[in-house]
Amino acid sequence: MDRHGADAIVLGISGSLREQSSNSRLLSSIRGLLPDGMKLLLYDGLGRLPHFSPDLDGDDARPHEAVREWREQLQAADAVVICTPEYARGVPGSLKNALDWVVSSGEFLNKPTAVISASPHPGGGSTALASLMLTLNMMSASIPPEAAISIPFVSKKLGPDGNVIDAKTLTSLRNLVQTLIRTVHKG
């Protein structure tokens, strides 16, 4: 399905470091919505990335191992899905830090990308979603309009097992996945 004939890889990135976060659970739900020939790998290194500094990332600098792994996983992915909470009306610092590490290295250039914000509040994290979209668009990620959604009251839309129990949310996630699949096939 990808350019090498193997399964297409979708890299899932949760903007939350919390082990049982709603955002991580939503990403796991997306795994079950992908067709045969696509698989979701969850990136788990957000908390290991050092604080971004251009001095650590110049031409003469050798990237930190966690940064090198982050970039390699992005490069190997055929598509990316980012699911983030909203902290203090913005993107969590750990997610922004991860994105800062790849601004100049170009891993998001034309990369099919879907973005989700999920929050227990009525706005669904729409401010974080808008901020994340600005950052990713600046990095030239390929984000179709149908591949960006916010999910308000997320805790009411997940069952005890972490699966999506809200029909409208499930439909939105299915549409997001279908849009991402079409974007991957165009590339």
Report whether 43 contacts 12 (CB < 8 A). Answer: yes
In order of start, what are the domains of the chain with their CATH numbers? Answer: 8-186 (3.40.50.360)
User: What pLDDT score was predicted for residue 2?
Assistant: 42
3-state secondary structure of 146: helix
Is the distance from CB of 74 to CB of 11 less than 8 angstroms?
yes
- The confidence score (pLDDT) of residue 61 equals 66
Q: Token match 């839309």: residue? A: 157
For residue 10, the model assigns a pLDDT of 97
State the pLDDT at residue 60: 63
Q: What would the two tokens of residue 110 be?
A: 């034309």
Residue 115: predicted pLDDT: 98
Give the mean pLDDT per block of 10 residues along the chain (187 residues).
Answer: 68 92 93 94 95 80 87 97 93 96 94 96 94 97 95 95 94 96 83
pLDDT at res. 63: 77
Alpha-helical regions (H) of the chain: 22-31, 65-76, 93-100, 126-138, 167-186
User: What is the reported pTM?
Assistant: 0.93
The dihedral built from the CA positions of residue 52, 56, 57 and 63, taken in this order, carries a sign that is negative
Q: Could you tell me the two tokens for 30?
A: 């997306």
Interhelix angle 126-138/93-100, rounded to 10 degrees, is 10
Tokens of 75: 């490069």
Are 62 and 103 in contact by the 8 Å Cβ rule? The answer is no
- The predicted pLDDT at position 185 comes to 82
Q: How far apart are the first and last CA of the chain?
A: 11
The residues that bridge with 84 in the sheet, in sequence order, are: 117
pLDDT of residue 57: 80
Q: What are phi and psi of 35, to 5 degrees?
A: -75, 165
Q: What is the pLDDT of residue 187?
A: 62
Q: CA-CA distance, 18 to 117, in Å (whole number)?
A: 15
